[in-house]
Amino acid sequence: MNIDYLSLRLVELPLRSPFRTHQGVINKRTLIIVEVADQSGRKGYGEVTAFAEPFYTSETTQTAWHIISDCIVPNIDFKEVMHPFDFPEQLTGVQGHPMAKAGVEGALWDLYGKQTEQSLSKMIGGRKKRVKAGAVISLNDSTAEGIKALEEKGYERYKLKVDKGRESEIIEQVKQLSPDLPLMIDANGAYTEKDMAHIETLDDYGLTMIEQPFQAGDFYLHQQLQQHLKTPVCLDESVMSFHDAKQAIQLGSCQVINIKISRVGGLSAAIKIHDYCAQENVPVWCGGMIESGISKAHNLALASLPNFSIPGDLSGSDRYFEKDLVTPGIQMENGEIEVPSLPGIGVEVDESYLERVTKKSKRFCL
């Protein structure tokens, strides 16, 4: 791929409004943007979507910066990377840190698409020209005004963040506003084994699914719950790799899987999980991380694969940001978003704005 350099940028993007879950409140989004360039000056962009604090997974922007700078860049022979699929094969000496790996791999995919004049969707076998969008309703949004605004935009699926012990109150509040809303809830691992009977009472609400009831890695408890629950269990934080996805399906720990490129270590792993889930007739959807348009463009390509049958956490740029890193921003129309068809991720990075929101940067000559 004739890679000349790799650069990292730590950026801070202000949110339109605070995003609140039971884990905390996010007022600004801190991200790492990975840029790779070849000797002809073409650039590819990836995004590390870890948060500044380790409330979602153990990775943070600080750990990812360290891993890329001190472990990945010095130990990977980028001259041997002829195709993005080659990159994960060189990472056997770096255990864990999937979000750091995914950010670098994403930049390689974008660059490779520009070098070969292919869209990312085409390169990975995507079939859809447009994908259905789903809204994530934070605890700030569960008001009449917030729900109405989302409905008017035409979202096809609604994911409600809930506080343990207040689920019924929050669900009923939303259902009073819009009884027919296709609603799921996301617990982000808030429950324990003692809550099993309580979770089973949520069957009465006709939810499309319950996402990540228990802590990540607890396949046994999820399997026990799914045995007694009519509502499908969806796994998010539990699935950090292809091995996790396979184990969850074979144990019967879930009926649905949320695939996030960053959480599973990159697009290569995400495709492998998608293909296995399709083989096992397990539907999947594409999760989001309150990310910029760079990561959204990668997600749209992934969601164009055929087994992504459930609307994902896909939204327009204006859902979270007044101004995005890409121009024009990702646009949603009538509940759908067009899959970019230009080479690479198919969107243009606003380099002047990227420079303005950069807090620190580092460049590595390769």
Are 5 and 37 in contact by the 8 Å Cβ rule? The answer is yes
d(CA 187, CA 175): 18
Residue 7 φ then ψ, to 5° = -130, 150
3-state secondary structure string across 159-179: EEECCCCCHHHHHHHHHHHCC
Are 338 and 108 in contact by the 8 Å Cβ rule? The answer is no
Residue 325 φ then ψ, to 5° = -80, -10
Scanning the chain, the segments in alpha helix (DSSP H) are: 61-67, 73-75, 86-89, 98-116, 120-124, 144-153, 167-177, 196-200, 219-228, 242-251, 261-264, 267-279, 293-303, 351-357
Q: Among 114, 159, 260, 296, which one carries the catalytic annotation? A: 260
Give me the sign of the Cα torsion angle 123, 126, 127, 130: negative
Strand partners, 135: 158
User: Does the annotation mark 161 as catalytic?
Assistant: yes
Q: Which two tokens stand for residue 205?
A: 């609400």
Nearest residue to 161 (alpha-carbon basis) of 332, 313, 14, 334: 313
Strand partners, 360: 10
Q: Among 43, 132, 161, 296, which one carries the catalytic annotation? A: 161
**Residue 324 identity (one-letter amino acid):** D
Residue 68 φ then ψ, to 5° = -65, -45
Decide the pairing of beta strands 336-338 and 332-333. Answer: antiparallel
d(CA 306, CA 125): 9
User: Does the annotation mark 362 as catalytic?
Assistant: no
Which residue reads 């934070």 in tokens? Answer: 138
Dihedral of the alpha carbons of 133, 331, 99, 93, in degrees to the nearest 10: 110
d(CA 226, CA 45): 39
Catalytic positions, please?
A: 161, 260
